[in-house]
A and B are shown apart, each in its own frame.
Chain A
Amino acid sequence: SSELTQDPAVSVALGQTVRITCQGDSLRSYYASWYQQKPGQAPVLVIYGKNNRPSGIPDRFSGSSSGNTASLTITGAQAEDEADYYCNSRDSSGNHLGVFGGGTKLTVL
C-alpha cells in the first residue's frame, strides 16, 4: 500500500481545468513532486517544490499544497495532457524513504 493516496482516474473536457490530488502525512513537511507518464515512456517531472516547473513544462501546469494534501492543476487541459500522473515524496516514517502515490489516469474528453 502507498502512503500517498491518489484518485485512480479523473477526466476533463478539452480546454477545461482539472485538479489531481495527493494525500499523505509526509506532505505536512515535504512538498510533493509530480510526474507525467505516457504509455511506453519514462516519467517526466512536471512540478516540484512549492510550485516550480522544470524547463519545457507548459505554464498550464501548477502545483499547490495545504495541510496533508498536494494538488496538481492543469488549466486549459490539452489532448496531449492525457497521461498517468504520479505524486512523490518522502514517507512519514522519518527513515528517509521515497514513496509514490498510486497514480491518477487523466482522460481528456
Chain B
Amino acid sequence: QVQLQQWGAGLLKPSETLSLTCAVYGGSFSGYYWSWIRQPPGKGLEWIGEINHSGSTNYNPSLKSRVTISVDTSKNQFSLKLSSVTAADTAVYYCARGHEWELPEGYYYYYMDVWGKGTTVTVSS
C-alpha cells in the first residue's frame, strides 16, 4: 500500500522560502504525477503544481513565478519550494499522487488517490 510521508518547516517569516519534501513508500515512482496542493485556513483546496518521474513540471499560473517542484528518483522523493512567502501563503500543504490517462472514446481520467497527512505552514513575523 502506497504511503506518502511529508515534512518541512512549519513556521516562516515573510520573504523566506518554504521548503517541503514528500517521500513515497511502498510503490513505484514512475508513471504518476506527483502533486502539491494547499488549503488556507477555512478555505478550499488549491492546486499548486506537479512533477512526473522524468522531471516535467506544471505549475499554477498564480504561483508559477515563486514555485519550484523537483524530484529525486533515487530516494523516491519530491519537493516543493515556494519563495518570498507572505501571510497569504499560510496554509496546510498536502502532497499527493496523481493519475491521468486517456480513454479510447477521447475522455480523460485525472485524479489523486494517495495523499500525505498535510503540513501546516504559518507565515508570520
Residues of A near any B CB (own CB < 8 A): 2, 29-31, 33, 35, 37, 42-45, 48-50, 54, 84, 86, 88-90, 95-103
Contact = CB atoms under 8 A, between A and B. Distances in A.
A96 B61 CA distance: 11
A90 B108 contact: yes
B58 A45 contact: no
Contacts of A97: 47, 58-61
Interface string B104-125: 0011111111011110000000
Given A86-B44, A86-B45, A97-B61, A48 B109 contact: yes
Nearest to A49: B109
A48 B58 contact: no
Interface residues on B, range: 20 to 34
Contacts, number: 74
B34 interface: no
Nearest to A100: B45
A36 B71 CA distance: 28
A43 B112 CA distance: 10
Contact of B108 (A29, A35, A101, A102): A29
A99 to B, nearest CB: 6
Contact of B44 (A49, A98, A102): A102
A47 B109 CA distance: 11
26 contacts: A29-B108, A30-B108, A30-B109, A31-B108, A35-B112, A42-B115, A42-B117, A42-B118, A43-B94, A45-B111, A48-B109, A48-B113, A49-B111, A54-B113, A86-B44, A88-B47, A88-B112, A95-B58, A97-B47, A97-B58, A97-B60, A97-B61, A98-B58, A98-B98, A98-B110, A103-B45
